[in-house]
């Protein structure tokens, strides 16, 4: 099999509560279920019964979650949630759902992924804004006139993940997207919420992840990721967060030049510890 050095891990990110801002890490245990503690919690909208997503609730980016006590084998850790205005609450506080509901302005309940067992849940979207100002039929080109998409989508069974347990993104792609946009957009990886942001070697240019989706395996340190698929982006990439302004041009550019895809997901096939600075290698199939 051929091997190609892609680059090194520049950033690691974990998001303890779905759709809230997360925490940067220097190292993280990872396995088939993703990075330890990732998307361990989510909010359920008590009006619809579905999970709250920043796809419909941009104010979720006013909240930040991190592990004050990191998760460990047999121990879930303890998540602290910073609310708008700098107040905070622990996810396991009995009053956490009430306090978050008041801050968000909606009746929600904080729930653990561990309590889903093998169940599947739906997350809400706003079909009118899911792709910012891009019409849905420009993304889903097979829709008939007047046809739309459902107002919710199923999460991966037993989890709060949208599609897969890991999301990878390269600097080559974010740099290329900014160039295509015209150079004024801030294409910080924080906009795209990857678990692993890879600083690519200098000779790799463009949307390099496209080379990974044809049966290849990615070695991220000693972690192996296969079944790699492109990731369809949505309005979340345009939301304001901390110092990043709202910017619809980011998604417009991805839609115009790359069918609204950026970064990839995949299946994790083993357990390993990821660390910033580890090498990332593409292991291709022999032809």
User: What does the alpha-carbon distance between residue 230 and residue 261 come to, in Å, rounded to a whole number?
Assistant: 6
- The pLDDT score that the predictor gives to residue 287 is 46
First to last CA, the chain: 9
Q: Which two tokens stand for residue 227?
A: 């079944």
**CA-to-CA separations, 175 to 61, 114, 130, 186, 204, in angstroms, rounded:** 24, 37, 24, 10, 11
- Strands 78-82 and 196-200 come out as unpaired
Residue 163: strand, helix, or coil? coil
Nearest residue to 230 (alpha-carbon basis) of 252, 260, 250: 260
- The pLDDT score that the predictor gives to residue 265 is 97
Give CATH superfamily name and number for 3-283: PK beta-barrel domain-like (2.40.33.20)
Give the angle subtended at the CA of 267 by the CAs of 150 and 191, to the nearest 5°.
60
List the chain pLDDT tens, one digit each, 287 residues: 789 999 999 999 999 999 999 999 999 999 999 999 999 999 999 999 999 999 999 999 999 999 999 999 989 999 999 999 879 999 999 999 999 999 999 999 999 999 999 888 999 999 999 999 999 999 999 999 889 999 999 999 999 999 999 999 999 999 999 999 999 999 999 999 999 999 999 999 999 999 999 899 999 999 999 999 999 999 999 999 999 999 999 999 999 999 999 999 999 999 999 999 999 999 976 54
Spatial CB neighbours of 23, under 8 Å, sequence gap ≥ 6: 13, 14, 15, 16, 64, 65, 66, 67
Cβ neighbour number for residue 248 with a 10 Å cutoff: 15
Beta bridge partners of 82: 64, 88
Contact 108, 121 (CB under 8 A): no
Specify the DSSP class assigned to residue 160. Answer: S
At residue 182, φ and ψ (nearest 5 deg) are 120, 0
Compute and round to an integer the Cα radius of gyration of the chain: 19
User: What does the alpha-carbon distance between residue 171 and residue 177 come to, in Å, rounded to a whole number?
Assistant: 10
Q: Which two tokens stand for residue 173?
A: 């792609």
Nearest residue to 165 (alpha-carbon basis) of 122, 205, 113: 113
- Report the interhelical angle of 171-181 vs 249-258 (nearest 10°): 100
DSSP secondary structure string, 127-142? TTTTTTTS-HHHHSTT
- The pLDDT score that the predictor gives to residue 186 is 97
- The pLDDT score that the predictor gives to residue 146 is 87
- The pLDDT score that the predictor gives to residue 119 is 86
Contact 218, 265 (CB under 8 A): no
The domain ranges of the chain are 3-283
Nearest residue to 152 (alpha-carbon basis) of 104, 120, 105, 194: 120
Cα-Cα-Cα-Cα torsion 156, 160, 162, 168, nearest 10 degrees, comes to -110
At residue 224, φ and ψ (nearest 5 deg) are -110, 130
Q: Which two tokens stand for residue 115?
A: 């309590």
Tell me the whole-structure pTM to 2 decimals.
0.96
């Amino acid at each position: 099999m051929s091997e190609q050095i892609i680059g090194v891990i520049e950033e690691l990110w974990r998001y303890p509560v779905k759709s809230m801002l997360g925490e940067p890490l220097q190292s993280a245990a990872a396995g088939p279920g993703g990075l330890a503690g990732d998307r361990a919690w989510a909010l359920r909208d008590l009006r619809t019964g579905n999970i709250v997503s920043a796809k419909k609730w941009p104010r979720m980016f006013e909240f930040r979650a991190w592990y004050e006590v990191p998760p460990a084998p047999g121990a879930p850790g303890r998540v602290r949630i910073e609310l708008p205005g700098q107040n905070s609450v622990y996810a396991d506080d009995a009053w956490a759902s009430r306090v978050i509901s008041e801050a968000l302005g909606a009746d929600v309940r904080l729930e653990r992924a561990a309590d889903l067992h093998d169940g599947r849940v739906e997350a809400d979207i706003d079909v009118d804004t899911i792709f910012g100002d891009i019409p849905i039929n420009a993304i889903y080109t097979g829709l008939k006139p007047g046809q739309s998409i459902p107002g919710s989508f199923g999460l991966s069974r037993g989890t709060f993940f949208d599609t897969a347990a890991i999301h990878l993104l390269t600097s080559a792609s974010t740099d290329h997207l900014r160039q295509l946009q015209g150079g004024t957009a801030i294409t910080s990886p924080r906009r795209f919420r990857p678990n692993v942001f890879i600083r690519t070697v200098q000779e790799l240019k463009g949307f390099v992840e496209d080379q990974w989706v044809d049966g290849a395996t990615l070695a991220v340190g000693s972690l192996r990721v296969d079944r790699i698929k492109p990731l369809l982006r949505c309005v979340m990439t345009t939301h304001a967060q901390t110092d990043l302004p709202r910017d619809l041009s980011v998604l417009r550019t991805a839609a115009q030049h790359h069918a609204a895809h950026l970064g990839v997901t995949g299946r994790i096939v083993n357990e390993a510890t990821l660390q910033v600075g580890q090498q990332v290698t593409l292991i291709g199939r022999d032809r």
